[in-house]
Copies of this chain bind each other. A is one copy, B any other.
Amino acid sequence: MEKNLTYKILEGHLVSGELKKGEEIGIKIDQTLTQDSTGTMVYLQLEAMNIKEINTDLSVAYIDHNTLQTGFENADDHEFIKSSAAKYGIVFSKPGNGICHQLHLENFGKPGGTLIGSDSHTPTNGGLGMISIGAGGLDVAVAMATGKYWLKMPEVLNVELTGKLNTWVSAKDIILYILDELSVKGGVGKVIEYSGEGLKYLSVTDRATITNMGAELGATTSIFPSDEETYKYLKSQNREDDFVELKADDNAEYDDVLEINLEDIVPLVAKPHSPDNVDTIENIKGLKVDQVAIGSCTNSSYTDLMKVANILKGEKVHPDVSLSISPGSSKILNMLAENGALADMISAGARVLECACGPCIGMGQAPKNNAISLRTFNRNFYGRSGTKSAHVYLVSPEVAAISAIRGSVEDPRKLGNIMDIDVPEIFKENDNLFVYPPNDRNGLEVKMGPNIKPFPINGQLKEGVDGKVVLNVGDDITTDHIMPSNASLLPYRSNIPYLSKYAFSTIDEDFWKRCEKNQGGFIIGGDNYGQGSSREHAALVPLYLGIKAIIVKSFARIHKANLINAGIIPLEFVDEENYKNIDIGDDLEITNLINELKVDGEVYIVNKTKDIKVKTKFTGSSRDVEILREGGYLNWVKKNFGGIKND
């Protein structure tokens, strides 16, 4: 059989199962990454396992989400993660160093390797030809402890790129084009593997923009071959030794193919409030803009920011616009500071923010009420900016920069000239913000501040569960809905009891009270429930509130895994029409759970209020079933790998 690239890499890492679509496989994990907002929970979990050191080639703990530090909680979290990293042999990236995905691409990602990270945009490193998967925190903790990760073998969708991008059209427009084609659900259960002649015009950082936003397709991951461009990039980072050439066999088999001629793509925008609400820039031209925010793990490569600097040079940001630039890595910022580009940005009136996720995760720069905000980021979910009434548009850096000067959306093709960005052959070497673990780690202790609270642990599965429906929601509920992430809540990522009062608060402020009153219950949802960020808090908080099962039309992949890890039962309607037959306040019961909950099992829900029986299905692996029976992943690991320290 002619093998695709995904198959080849997974084959080399397979530790259990068969590489058949839909089958559960176990793979060896070479590298892990965590960031601070999911990381505190990961290191609490790691601390709960009785291990001496990590079992991966490399694990890195980044601080990039909560760097505003508006209270001691953040700095305490940073210290907790730093001390955990030292204890277990993990590389620590200090606040200010930059965004995990950008830094990992520059410093650690390897073609042909495997990476899992507790951040949904972990697939960014797919741009380097690495299998890079976003996962729940507990999956990452277990991977650090065991070197292993289990997942359902995805389909492989080949996106074949031909032609060459037109002037002023860039990688961001490619992924927006694909989002328009496939929608935010189009990648669910799939690896998106890129190929074709068009690749030769795309640098590794262009590719990383595309694989990064592959997360918005719901894809398991996205991957590019490792070729001359990959070599060039690794060499620029003084890492040519990490290069291996990798590509799919000629005529490799794929589950599906999407052909795209790059010449067909024009400058695009994702309009509020979804990354797949795509339109052309031409169609929104002239829209008055209040805020422009440039940066994020999607668009803060050297090339991206140099384009921005070139556009801003000698110009002035419009008086009615606030333009912020948050570079993705201190290395890039350092280069821009040395070559004068940063001075050009500042001179034009840009606000230069720290190298971090920043406004992309609502960590500062919340726009004014009803603002139009143009952002080079990856998500424009409702409320994510920190301002519910704001309208966020996702665009390329070029469109963002020009519109900041004009004060309204501008089609960059009007500018005529082509900007040639000379990417240096060798990037500046600077790892002053990385802290490497000491060789002698004996006696090192983790340091825990008072805001770091124990995480909830579920009990073993019971034969019957009952309770009220405490929430009924529609399609495309994101983890931002379930557990909002904003500047005032991020400091509490290590404090589940505190966070629980904000669950679903953007759509229903009384949700937590209803849970408290009814001692938890059931949640009913539509399609693509749990899309977006990988945060396991979106499962741990419902667990804390007593949610027993969530019944929906379909789940987003990472969130479903997080629910299973938390011991919350994820069920899907066999007949989607039944979604309409369950209302908030209905009394539900499942009577035969231990028997019915099995691989592809049918689980019957009795709606006692309406006196009807609703058929649902559980789609998960035998391991998922085992985990749910044990009441969650930590219990399962405890049973199978032994030695939970706090037993």
Contacts and interface: CB of A to CB of B under 8 A. Distances in A.
Interface of A: 67-72, 74-76, 78-79, 94-96, 291, 316-317, 319, 322, 324, 330, 333-334, 337-338, 340, 342-343, 346-355, 362-369, 371, 386-390, 428, 430, 432-433, 435, 449-450, 486-488
B387 A432 contact: no
A291 B72 CA distance: 12
Given A75-B371, A364-B68, A368-B72, A338 B343 contact: yes
> How would you classify the secondary structure of chain A's contact residues: helix, strand, loop or mixed?
loop
B72 A70 contact: no
A94 B349 contact: yes
B346 A333 contact: yes
Contact of A366 (B70, B343, B347, B371): B70
29 contacts: A67-B351, A69-B364, A70-B70, A70-B364, A70-B366, A70-B386, A70-B488, A71-B488, A72-B386, A75-B366, A75-B369, A75-B387, A95-B322, A96-B324, A96-B349, A96-B350, A317-B432, A333-B346, A333-B352, A334-B343, A334-B346, A334-B347, A337-B346, A338-B340, A338-B343, A347-B430, A348-B432, A351-B355, A369-B450
A194 to B, nearest CB: 34
Nearest to A353: B354
A367 to B, nearest CB: 5
A68 B486 CA distance: 12
A70 B491 CA distance: 12
Contacts of A68: 68, 70, 364-365, 487
Contacts of A72: 366-369, 386-390
A63 to B, nearest CB: 10
A366 B69 contact: yes
A330 to B, nearest CB: 6
Contact of A319 (B74, B334, B353, B435): B435
Nearest to A359: B69
Given A96-B349, A317-B432, A346-B337, A71 B386 contact: yes
Nearest to A79: B368
A23 to B, nearest CB: 45
Nearest to A67: B351
A487 B330 CA distance: 25
A314 to B, nearest CB: 11
A432 B366 contact: no
Contacts of A389: 72
Contacts of A488: 70-71, 488
A371 B71 CA distance: 13
Contacts of A366: 69-72, 74-75
Contacts of A365: 68-69
A319 B428 CA distance: 20
A75 B67 CA distance: 20
A383 B71 CA distance: 10
Contacts of A350: 96
Contacts of A78: 322, 368
Contacts of A94: 319, 322, 349
Contacts of A432: 316-317, 347-349
Given A72-B387, A75-B366, A337-B342, 20 more contacts: A68-B365, A69-B364, A69-B386, A71-B487, A71-B488, A72-B369, A72-B388, A72-B389, A75-B368, A75-B387, A79-B368, A96-B351, A317-B433, A330-B346, A337-B346, A338-B343, A351-B355, A352-B352, A353-B354, A368-B449
Contacts of A69: 364-367, 386
Nearest to A335: B343
A274 to B, nearest CB: 21
A70 B362 CA distance: 7
Contact of A352 (B95, B322, B324, B354): B354
Nearest to A92: B319
- Closest 5 A/B residue pairs (Cβ): A70-B487, A96-B351, A75-B368, A349-B432, A337-B343
Contacts of A368: 72, 75-76, 78-79, 449
A350 B96 CA distance: 8
A324 B68 CA distance: 11
Contacts of A317: 432-433
Nearest to A387: B72
A79 B74 CA distance: 29
A164 to B, nearest CB: 35
A26 to B, nearest CB: 36
Contacts of A322: 75, 78, 94-96
Identify the interface centre among A70, A330, A354: most chain B CB within 10 Å of its CB: A70
Nearest to A338: B343
Contact of A354 (B67, B70, B351, B355): B351
A390 B342 CA distance: 34
A486 to B, nearest CB: 7
Contacts of A433: 317, 349
A352 B332 CA distance: 13
